[in-house]
Amino acid sequence: MNRNDYLALLDSYGNHFSISEFEVQGPGTIGRMDIGFLRSFLAWRQWHGISTLISSAWRKGDPKSHGQGLAFDVLLFDQWLVSQPSALQHWLLATTWGFNGVGLYFDWSYTNKEGNKVPAIGLHVDDWAGNGYSQRPLRWLRIDGQYYYQSLTRGDFYCKTNRQTITLDEAIRRYGP
C-alpha cells in the first residue's frame, strides 16, 4: 500500500488518526503493520469513540507481537490529555472487542496539557497468535513492573516472580485511578 492508500483507509474508519501517529518508530513504519490487524484496530477505535493516543506500534527487533506488526500500546482519554476512563472501562473495551492479547498497565505515565508527568493506565492490544509458549487469548496486568497473567479457568491473575495472585477488582481498587 502507498501513502494515499493509508490515508484512504484512515478516512474510511472516521479519520481519527494521522499516518504519523502510527509511525512511532519512524517514517514508513505504518507499512510494517499487519493490514488486517490495522483495520481491526481502526474499527475498534471507531466503535468505542474514545480519544486514543498510540504510544507504540511496530518495533524493530521485537520478536513478539510488536515486531510482527500485530500490536499497539495506547492511552485512552475521555478528556484529551487530562483524564482517562476507568481501568475497568479500558479492560472491557479491549476484551469485548476480542483482541488475542490484552494487557492493562497500572504503572504508565504521560505528559498532560500543562506539561506535567502524571500516572496513567496503559493498554496493550494485539492479535498475535504467540509462538507456541503462551496461551491465547492472553490477558495480563502489569503492576509496579510485575506481570500477572490471567488464569482462563479461575479468572484471577498470578505473578510467577513474586508468587502473588490478584483479581482484576483488587488491582483496580489498589492501583487504578
**pLDDT digit string (tens) for 89-145?**
999 999 999 899 999 999 999 998 899 999 999 999 999 987 665 677 899 999 999
- DSSP character at residue 151: P
Mean pLDDT for the chain? Answer: 94
pTM of the predicted protein model: 0.94
Instruction: Specify whether the CB–CB gap between 70 and 37 falls below 8 A.
Output: yes
Q: State the Cα angle at 50 between 139 and 149, rounded to 5°.
A: 10
* Cis status, amide bond into 137, omega within 30 of 0: yes
- Asked if the model's pLDDT at residue 8 lies above 70, the reply is yes
Helix (H) or strand (E) holding 120: strand 117-126
The contacts of residue 177 (CB under 8 Å, 6+ apart) are 84, 86, 87, 119, 121
